[in-house]
Structure 1
Amino acid sequence: MDDFFAPPAFKPADALLQLKRSLRDLKPLAERGEGFELQGMRVIELSSDASTITVRLARRQSRTPEWDRLVLKNSADVRKCIDEARRRLARWTEE
Protein backbone atom coordinates (compact mmCIF):
# COMPACT_ATOMS: atom_id res chain seq x y z
CA MET A 1 0.00 0.00 0.00
CA ASP A 2 2.99 2.36 0.37
CA ASP A 3 3.39 2.68 -3.38
CA PHE A 4 -0.30 3.61 -3.89
CA PHE A 5 0.52 7.31 -3.55
CA ALA A 6 3.77 7.16 -5.51
CA PRO A 7 3.84 9.29 -8.67
CA PRO A 8 3.98 7.44 -11.98
CA ALA A 9 7.43 6.58 -13.30
CA PHE A 10 9.06 9.30 -15.40
CA LYS A 11 9.19 8.34 -19.06
CA PRO A 12 11.60 10.68 -20.86
CA ALA A 13 10.36 9.78 -24.36
CA ASP A 14 6.76 10.66 -23.49
CA ALA A 15 7.80 13.74 -21.54
CA LEU A 16 9.93 14.94 -24.48
CA LEU A 17 6.90 14.73 -26.77
CA GLN A 18 4.83 16.71 -24.25
CA LEU A 19 7.61 19.28 -23.88
CA LYS A 20 7.92 19.75 -27.65
CA ARG A 21 4.15 20.11 -27.97
CA SER A 22 4.07 22.74 -25.24
CA LEU A 23 6.96 24.67 -26.79
CA ARG A 24 5.28 24.57 -30.22
CA ASP A 25 2.24 26.22 -28.63
CA LEU A 26 4.46 29.22 -27.83
CA LYS A 27 3.79 30.68 -31.26
CA PRO A 28 6.90 32.74 -32.08
CA LEU A 29 9.07 29.64 -31.61
CA ALA A 30 9.77 27.45 -34.65
CA GLU A 31 10.79 23.82 -34.20
CA ARG A 32 13.96 22.86 -36.06
CA GLY A 33 15.21 19.32 -35.50
CA GLU A 34 15.89 18.80 -31.80
CA GLY A 35 15.53 22.46 -30.89
CA PHE A 36 13.59 25.66 -31.32
CA GLU A 37 14.44 28.94 -32.99
CA LEU A 38 13.19 32.48 -32.61
CA GLN A 39 13.63 34.72 -35.66
CA GLY A 40 16.16 32.29 -37.14
CA MET A 41 18.33 32.08 -34.01
CA ARG A 42 18.58 28.92 -31.92
CA VAL A 43 17.26 29.53 -28.39
CA ILE A 44 16.34 26.04 -27.10
CA GLU A 45 18.04 22.67 -27.64
CA LEU A 46 16.66 19.33 -26.41
CA SER A 47 18.21 15.91 -25.91
CA SER A 48 17.21 12.85 -23.92
CA ASP A 49 18.58 9.59 -22.66
CA ALA A 50 17.07 6.62 -20.83
CA SER A 51 16.26 8.50 -17.61
CA THR A 52 16.43 12.28 -18.19
CA ILE A 53 15.86 15.11 -20.66
CA THR A 54 18.57 17.74 -21.06
CA VAL A 55 17.46 21.21 -22.12
CA ARG A 56 19.73 24.08 -23.09
CA LEU A 57 18.09 27.51 -22.86
CA ALA A 58 19.77 30.58 -24.29
CA ARG A 59 20.32 33.37 -21.79
CA ARG A 60 19.84 35.93 -24.57
CA GLN A 61 18.73 35.66 -28.14
CA SER A 62 21.88 35.90 -30.28
CA ARG A 63 23.76 34.10 -33.05
CA THR A 64 26.14 32.51 -30.51
CA PRO A 65 24.18 32.36 -27.25
CA GLU A 66 25.38 31.53 -23.77
CA TRP A 67 23.45 28.49 -22.57
CA ASP A 68 21.83 27.51 -19.29
CA ARG A 69 21.53 23.74 -18.91
CA LEU A 70 18.54 22.10 -17.24
CA VAL A 71 18.25 18.38 -16.47
CA LEU A 72 14.64 17.22 -16.25
CA LYS A 73 14.13 14.16 -14.06
CA ASN A 74 10.38 14.28 -13.41
CA SER A 75 7.14 15.88 -14.55
CA ALA A 76 7.52 18.81 -12.16
CA ASP A 77 10.87 19.65 -13.78
CA VAL A 78 9.19 19.59 -17.21
CA ARG A 79 6.53 22.07 -16.03
CA LYS A 80 9.20 24.34 -14.55
CA CYS A 81 11.13 24.22 -17.82
CA ILE A 82 8.05 25.22 -19.81
CA ASP A 83 7.41 28.11 -17.41
CA GLU A 84 11.03 29.26 -17.70
CA ALA A 85 10.90 29.06 -21.51
CA ARG A 86 7.70 31.14 -21.45
CA ARG A 87 9.39 33.80 -19.25
CA ARG A 88 12.48 33.96 -21.44
CA LEU A 89 10.41 34.12 -24.61
CA ALA A 90 8.53 37.12 -23.21
CA ARG A 91 11.86 38.77 -22.38
CA TRP A 92 13.39 37.99 -25.79
CA THR A 93 10.40 39.37 -27.70
CA GLU A 94 10.48 42.58 -25.62
CA GLU A 95 14.15 43.25 -26.52
Structure 2
Amino acid sequence: MTDFFAPPAFKPAEALVQLKRQLREGKGLAERGDGFDLKGQAVIHLEATATTIEAQLAKRPARSPEWTKHSLKNSADVRKFVDTVKAQLTRWSADE
Protein backbone atom coordinates (compact mmCIF):
# COMPACT_ATOMS: atom_id res chain seq x y z
CA MET A 1 0.00 0.00 0.00
CA THR A 2 1.39 3.41 -0.92
CA ASP A 3 1.34 6.31 1.47
CA PHE A 4 -1.09 8.80 -0.05
CA PHE A 5 0.24 11.69 2.01
CA ALA A 6 3.95 11.08 1.36
CA PRO A 7 5.69 14.08 -0.19
CA PRO A 8 7.09 13.61 -3.71
CA ALA A 9 10.63 12.31 -3.90
CA PHE A 10 13.26 15.05 -3.71
CA LYS A 11 14.98 15.49 -7.06
CA PRO A 12 18.17 17.51 -6.45
CA ALA A 13 18.82 18.41 -10.10
CA GLU A 14 15.32 19.84 -10.55
CA ALA A 15 15.41 21.56 -7.17
CA LEU A 16 18.77 23.14 -8.06
CA VAL A 17 17.25 24.76 -11.16
CA GLN A 18 14.44 26.22 -9.05
CA LEU A 19 16.86 27.30 -6.32
CA LYS A 20 19.04 29.16 -8.82
CA ARG A 21 15.95 30.89 -10.23
CA GLN A 22 14.96 32.05 -6.73
CA LEU A 23 18.50 33.28 -5.98
CA ARG A 24 18.70 35.23 -9.26
CA GLU A 25 15.77 37.24 -7.93
CA GLY A 26 17.91 38.22 -4.92
CA LYS A 27 19.11 41.80 -4.90
CA GLY A 28 22.63 42.17 -6.20
CA LEU A 29 23.38 38.48 -6.80
CA ALA A 30 25.00 37.51 -10.09
CA GLU A 31 25.08 33.87 -11.20
CA ARG A 32 28.61 32.61 -11.93
CA GLY A 33 28.97 28.94 -12.88
CA ASP A 34 28.03 26.83 -9.86
CA GLY A 35 27.35 29.75 -7.58
CA PHE A 36 26.56 33.41 -7.10
CA ASP A 37 28.65 36.52 -6.61
CA LEU A 38 27.85 39.74 -4.81
CA LYS A 39 29.76 42.74 -6.18
CA GLY A 40 32.33 40.44 -7.78
CA GLN A 41 32.97 38.31 -4.69
CA ALA A 42 31.77 34.69 -4.41
CA VAL A 43 29.11 34.31 -1.71
CA ILE A 44 27.24 31.10 -2.68
CA HIS A 45 28.42 27.79 -4.14
CA LEU A 46 25.95 25.05 -5.12
CA GLU A 47 26.39 21.42 -6.14
CA ALA A 48 23.76 18.75 -6.76
CA THR A 49 24.57 15.18 -5.70
CA ALA A 50 22.42 12.10 -6.26
CA THR A 51 20.34 12.77 -3.13
CA THR A 52 21.04 16.34 -1.93
CA ILE A 53 22.09 19.84 -2.89
CA GLU A 54 25.32 20.77 -1.16
CA ALA A 55 25.33 24.53 -0.62
CA GLN A 56 27.96 26.83 0.81
CA LEU A 57 27.17 30.35 1.97
CA ALA A 58 29.87 32.88 2.77
CA LYS A 59 29.79 34.31 6.27
CA ARG A 60 30.62 37.66 4.63
CA PRO A 61 31.73 38.72 1.15
CA ALA A 62 35.52 38.45 0.79
CA ARG A 63 38.12 37.38 -1.76
CA SER A 64 38.65 34.16 0.25
CA PRO A 65 35.41 33.81 2.21
CA GLU A 66 34.81 31.60 5.21
CA TRP A 67 31.98 29.24 4.25
CA THR A 68 29.06 27.74 6.14
CA LYS A 69 27.89 24.44 4.69
CA HIS A 70 24.26 23.46 4.17
CA SER A 71 23.03 20.06 3.02
CA LEU A 72 19.62 20.47 1.40
CA LYS A 73 17.75 17.14 1.56
CA ASN A 74 14.19 18.23 0.76
CA SER A 75 12.07 21.15 -0.39
CA ALA A 76 11.76 22.52 3.14
CA ASP A 77 15.56 22.70 3.41
CA VAL A 78 15.69 24.58 0.09
CA ARG A 79 13.10 27.12 1.29
CA LYS A 80 14.98 27.57 4.57
CA PHE A 81 18.25 28.13 2.67
CA VAL A 82 16.62 30.78 0.45
CA ASP A 83 15.33 32.54 3.58
CA THR A 84 18.83 32.34 5.11
CA VAL A 85 20.36 33.88 1.98
CA LYS A 86 17.80 36.71 1.97
CA ALA A 87 18.51 37.45 5.64
CA GLN A 88 22.27 37.38 4.99
CA LEU A 89 21.91 39.79 2.04
CA THR A 90 19.92 42.15 4.26
CA ARG A 91 22.66 42.03 6.93
CA TRP A 92 25.42 42.62 4.39
CA SER A 93 23.66 45.64 2.88
CA ALA A 94 23.05 47.06 6.36
CA ASP A 95 26.78 46.70 7.14
CA GLU A 96 27.78 48.85 4.18
Pairwise same-fold verdict (TM > 0.5): yes
Q: Please give the per-residue CA displacement for 1:31-75, whole angstroms capped at 9, x wherever unaligned.
A: 000000000000000001110000000001111111000000000
Alpha-carbon distance, 1:2 to partner: 5.2
Deviating beyond 3 angstroms after TM superposition, the runs of 4 or more aligned structure 1 residues are none
* Aligned match of 2:17: 17
Kindly, what percent of the aligned residue pairs are identical?
59
Cα distance between partner residues in 1 of 2:40 and 2:24: 15
* Aligned match of 2:50: 50
- TM-score under structure 2 length normalisation: 0.95
Which residue identity lines up with residue 10 of structure 1 in the other structure? F
- TM-score under structure 1 length normalisation: 0.96
* Aligned match of 1:87: 87
* Aligned match of 2:60: 60
Which residue identity lines up with residue 57 of structure 2 in the other structure? L
* Aligned match of 2:73: 73
How many residue pairs get aligned? The number is 95
RMSD across aligned positions (CA):
0.9
Which residue identity lines up with residue 80 of structure 1 in the other structure? K
